[in-house]
Amino acid sequence: MTNWTRCLWALPAVLLLAPCGSAQEAATPARDTSRGDKMIAEYFRLETDKLRGASLAEVDSLEDWQSQRAARHRELLEMLGLDPLPEKTPLQAEVTGRVTQDEFLVEKIHFQSRPGLYVTGNLYLPKQVDEKLPAILYVCGHGGVKRDGVSFGNKVHYQHHGEWFARNGFVCLTIDTLQLGEIEGIHHGTYRYDMWWWLNRGYTPAGVEAWNCVRALDYLQSRPEVDPERLGVTGRSGGGAYSWWIAAIDERIKAAVPVAGITDLENHVVDGCVEGHCDCMYMVNTYRWDYGQVAAMVAPRPLLISNTDADRIFPLDGVVRTFEAARRIYEMHGAADKIGLNITAGGHQDTQELRVHAFRWFNRHLKGDEALIDKTATKFLEPPDLRVFTELPGDQKNTEIHESFVAPAPEPEVPANDAAWATTRTMHVEQLRQRTFAGWPADDVKLDVRPAFAVEREGVRFAAYDFVSQPGIDLRLYVAHRVGLEHPDLTVLNVLDDQAWDAFLATARPAFEKKLASEQLPPADPDAFQQWQTMFKSFDWAMAYVAPRGVGPTAWDQSKRKQTQHRRRFYLLGQTLDGMRVYDVRRAIQALRSGTEFAQVPLWLQSQRRLAGVATYAALFEPEIKRIDLYEFAPSHRQGPFLLNVSRFLDLRQTVAMAAEQSQIVIYADDPQPWAYVADVAKSLQWDKKQFQVRRPPGDG
C-alpha cells in the first residue's frame, strides 16, 4: 500500500484540508462579517425574549411560588458554585488594629471564609454601645484604592457608608472583594484572561463573593454588639450585585438595598451591558433565569431596588422590568409595601440621593425609625488608617481560588463490568442534558433543508444545502463526490473550524469559485483539488462539510473584544458557544439524513482541535455514527470544548469512552498515554480492538 493510500484511508479529508506531507497552508483572507453580525444579534434577541417570557411564567399564585422556592434556591446555589455548600470551617478571625474617632471606632479585621481564603474588612461601631444593635453588611463595588503597588482594598473607597451607619446607631462590616481587596484575586477570568475553562467548572467569582458574604454574616452574629435577628445588606455596582446574591440565598438578611447592581438579560445581552461588567456580576446561568427571579428570591423581606436614571451599565428600563417581576411575587405574599423602587438623577455614581434613601430604608425596617436624615456620609480616614495587613499571609489562596472553589470531577474509575458502565453512562448523559446542554431548543425545530446549488466540473459533483439549526441560526452544508456516484459507500462529515474552513475553500476554489463567490476566498490550492479528484476516483465516498455558527460564512466581528463578549453573552443565556456548536453538528447530521440523497448512507465524523471535542459530544446524541476521526485533540476540557458545568461531573476521557461505545473512534496523536483511560475501558469491557485506537498523525513517518 502506498503512503498516499495509507494517508487517504487514515484521513479521508486530509486531502481536502491539507495535502499529506505538505506544509502548504491557505492564507486567511479578511472576512466580511456582516452576515454573521446580523445573525448573532438576531439570535441573541430571540433567545433573550424566550428567557424573559419563561421567567416566573409558571408562578400564578403564592402556592405555586411556595412549592417551587426551595428548588429555585438550590438552583441558585448551584449556579453560584455553592451546591453543595462549603463546610463552615472556623473563621480564624483576627483584629489587627483599631482607629478611634469622635463618634465611632473602627476595627481592622480579617477572617477566613474557607481555609486560606482571606476576607479583609473594617468593622464600624458606634463610640458607645449600650445594647445589641442592628448590623449592616456593606459589600464594595469596583473602587479599588492602591498606592505604590500596595492595595488598601475597595473598603477604603466606600468607608463613608460604614462611618455613617456607625454614627447613626448601626454596626457595619465593610468587606473587600476578591479582586480589589488587600490580597488581589481574579474577577476577569473570561473577560480578560481567556479562562474559559471556568465555564466547564461551573465557576464564577460571584460565588466566592456570595460565600464571603455568608461567612461575614456568621462573623457579625458572633459579635456581642450585634442583634443577630436584625441584619441588612447593601452595596453599589459590584457590591449591589453581591447584595442580591446574599439576600437571595441567606434569609438572615432582613432588609436589603442593592444599588446599581442588577438589570435584566435584555440589557445585558441585547443592549450590550455585559461588555461593561466583569465575571463577578454573573451566576453561571445553568437553569436559564432572567434576573427578576433573583430579585423574587428576597420576597417577602424588605427590598429597595435603587438606581440612577442615566446609568449606562444598569439602564433604567431593565431595572424597572426587574422590579416589576419581583413586585408580582411580593404582591402574592401581601407584601407590596416591602418592595420599593428608588430612582434618582445621575449616571453610574455613588450619589448622596442614593445613600439617603438607603439609610432611611434601614432605619425603617431594622430600627423602626422614620426620622429625617440629618447627617451626610463623609469620609474621615486616610487609606493607610484602614489597612488590615502590613504583610500578606503566606498561606493565602485568594489569588488562585478559581482553581479550587468548585471541585472538579474525581479521577474516573475504569468500570468493572457492563452493568457498572451502563449506570455511569446513563447518569452522565442525563447530567449533560440537564446541566450542560439545557440551552438546546426544547422543541424540535423544522430543519427546512433547501438545496442551494449543485454543479459538476472536472469529475466532481459539488452541492450545497441550507438548513435551520435553530431559530436565528441558518447554516450551509456542502457535499462533494464523484460525478455519477448514486450510492456512496460512506459519507464523511467534516466539522470545520476557521483554519479548516479556509483550507476547504482553497481546495474547492479551482473548480467551483463561482459557487463560492459569496465567501472571502483564500488563494486556490490546485494540488489539493487534484488529490480530491483522485480520492473520489478511488473510493465511493461523499465528503460533507459544515462550519458551525461563528465559523466561515457566519463568522461575526473578528476583533478580540467582540469575540470575547459574544462568548460571554452565550453563558448569560445558559449556553456556551461550543455547546451550541455541538447542537449545530447534530443538526447537520440530521440534515444529511433527512433532506439529501445521503439519508441511508453510513456516516463518519471528522474534526480537529477544539471542534474535535464538539464533534465527539454531537456523536453522543446522534445514533449510528460509524466512526469518528479526531486530530490535534487535547485530552482535557481545560483546552476545550468549553461547556457549562461539564468538568464538575465528567472528564473528557470519559466522554470519548462513551462515544467509543457506540462509534469507532480514531485519535491521531504522537502520545497515546493521555488517552489510556479510554483504552482501559475498552479492554475491561472487551470491546473490539477497532472500537478505540490511537494512531500516529499522518505524515509523521
What percent of the chain has a predicted confidence (pLDDT) above 70? Answer: 95
Residue 464 lies in a domain: no
Q: Collect all residues with Cβ–Cβ distance below 8 Å to 517 and sequence separation of at least 6.
A: none
Number of domains in the chain: 2
Q: What's the confidence (pLDDT) of residue 597?
A: 82
In this structure, are 168 and 279 located in the same domain?
Answer: yes
Q: Which domain-ending residue is among 403, 425, 459?
A: 403
Both 500 and 367 in one domain: the answer is no
Residue 487 lies in a domain: no
Residue 82 included in any domain: yes
C-alpha to C-alpha distance for 552 and 519, rounded to whole angstroms: 8
SS3 495: strand
Long-range CB pairs of 183-186, under 8 A, 24+ apart, other chains included: 183/118, 183/120, 183/151, 183/389, 183/392, 183/393, 183/396, 183/398, 183/399, 184/151, 184/398, 184/399, 185/398, 185/399, 185/400, 185/401, 185/402, 186/399, 186/402
pLDDT of residue 95: 98
Determine the average pLDDT of the residues in 300-328. Answer: 97
520 and 398 belong to one structural domain: no
Q: Tell me the pLDDT tens digit for each residue of 123-150.
A: 999 999 999 999 999 999 999 899 999 9
Q: Are residues 394 and 525 in the same domain?
A: no
Arithmetic mean of pLDDT, 678-689? 96
**Average model confidence (pLDDT) across the chain:** 93
Higher pLDDT, 564 or 700: 564
The pLDDT value given to residue 28:
53
The H-or-E segment that residue 465 falls in is: strand 460-470
What CATH number is associated with residue 519? 3.40.50
Asked, for residue 415, whether it belongs to a domain, the answer is no
* Same domain as 347, residue 240: yes
pLDDT band at 20, cuts 50/70/90? Answer: very low
At residue 444, does pLDDT exceed 90?
no
Per the model's pLDDT, the better-predicted residue between 38 and 11 turns out to be 38
218 within some domain: yes
CB 259, CB 236: distance < 8 Å: yes
Cell (9 digits) for 492: 464523511
- Do residue 506 and residue 382 come from a single domain? no
Residue 11 has a pLDDT of 42
Query: pTM of the predicted model, to two decimals?
Result: 0.94
Summarize pLDDT for 416-432 with one digit per residue, the tens. Answer: 999 999 999 999 999 99
Could you read off the pLDDT of 588-616 as tens digits, one per residue? 999 999 977 888 899 999 999 999 999 99
Given pLDDT bands bounded at 50, 70 and 90, which one contains residue 15?
very low
Whether the Cβ atoms of residue 86 and residue 307 lie closer than 8 Å to each other: no
Contact present, 152 and 145 (Cβ < 8 Å): yes
| Residue that wins the pLDDT comparison between 31 and 670 | 670
**Which of 382, 403, 424 marks a domain boundary?**
403
What value does the mean pLDDT take over residues 317-343? Answer: 98
Are 534 and 386 in a shared domain?
A: no
455 in any annotated domain:
no
Residue 628 and residue 526 share a domain: yes
Per the domain annotation, does 429 fall within a domain?
A: no
Q: Give the three cell numbers for residue 232.
A: 441588612
CA 247 to chain centre: 23
Q: Are strands 460-470 and 450-457 parallel, antiparallel or unpaired?
A: antiparallel
pLDDT tens profile 489-533: 999 999 999 999 999 999 999 999 999 988 889 999 999 999 999
pLDDT at 700: 66
457-487: b (≥16 Cβ within 10 Å) or e: eeebbbbbbbbbbbebbbbbbbbbbbeeeee
**C-alpha distances in Å from residue 537, one per residue of 483, 486, 526, 654:** 9, 14, 17, 38
Of residues 469 and 18, more confidently modeled: 469
- Confidence at residue 146, expressed as pLDDT on a 0 to 100 scale: 92
pLDDT at 29: 56
The residue among 353, 386, 403 that closes a domain is: 403
Are residues 520 and 630 located together in one domain of the fold? yes
Q: What is the pLDDT of residue 8?
A: 38
The per-residue pLDDT for 443 is 82
CATH code for position 366: 3.40.50.1820
Q: What distance in Å separates the CA atoms of residue 178 and residue 40, rounded to the nearest whole number?
A: 33
Strand 692-695 vs strand 664-668: parallel, antiparallel, or unpaired? parallel
In a domain, 88, yes or no: yes
Q: Which domain holds residue 607?
A: 437-443+494-695
pLDDT of residue 9: 37
Angle at which helix 652-662 crosses helix 676-684, to 10 degrees, equals 40
Question: Which DSSP string do the residues of 301-345 spell out, in sequence order?
Answer: S-EEEEEETT-SSS-HHHHHHHHHHHHHHHHHTT-GGGEEEEEES
- CB-side neighbour CA atoms (13 Å) of 559: 5
Q: Rounded mean pLDDT of 37-59?
A: 97
Do the Cβ atoms of 241 and 281 come closer than 8 Å? Answer: yes
Q: Which residues partner with 146 through β-bridges? A: 151
Does 236 share its domain with 362? Answer: yes
